[in-house]
Structure 1
Amino acid sequence: MAGFFDRAREQAQRGLAQGKEKVEEVQAQREGKELLRRLGSAYYAQQRGRGSQQAVDQHLRELDQHIEKNGDAFLR
């Protein structure tokens, strides 16, 4: 009977780990999309004379850092 409970606990732990990975993946995708939106907004403002190239460059750096850390799956 102890073997059954051990297997059940291991399976539950694997399920929790997979769920945590999925949550982290979704959060990274949301963050990436938000960074991309901010970059677009900064670029639009810069093109319309209401923003600066520095703001665009800053948002681009932030997006590049996010991609280095989390990949670029959110771009698809």
Structure 2
Amino acid sequence: MSQIHAMSDDQVASELRKMTAFIRQEALEKAREIHLKADEEFAIEKSQLVRNETQSIDSQYDKKFKQAA
């Protein structure tokens, strides 16, 4: 049969600190991943908006230029 070893209060506290540190590290890594993904998505969206607005302005300018000619 397996024996159950009771842990001392210090051992329990040490294990809890290790678990807490691990969870905190995982959370920080996940937060970094989320932040990077958000930055990438923002850059893509911004690029698309700028491209669309530039095309719109160019189109309006061409239309006005043709009307003036």
Give your verdict on TM over 0.5: yes
Scaled by the length of structure 1, the TM-score of the pair is 0.60
1:21 aligns with 2:36: no
Specify every segment of 5 or more residues in structure 1 that has no aligned partner in the other structure, as ranges.
Answer: 51-76
Scaled by the length of structure 2, the TM-score of the pair is 0.65
Pair member with larger Rg: 2
Query: Any runs of at least 4 consecutive aligned residues in structure 1 with deviations exceeding 2 A, and if so which?
Result: none
Structure number with greater CO (CA < 8 Å, separation at least 6) is 1
Deviations 1:23-70 (A, max 9, x none): 1111111110011101110111012118xxxxxxxxxxxxxxxxxxxx
1:31 aligns with 2:40: no
- Structure 2 CA distance for aligned equivalents of residues 49 and 2 of structure 1: 69
Tell me the matched-pair count: 50
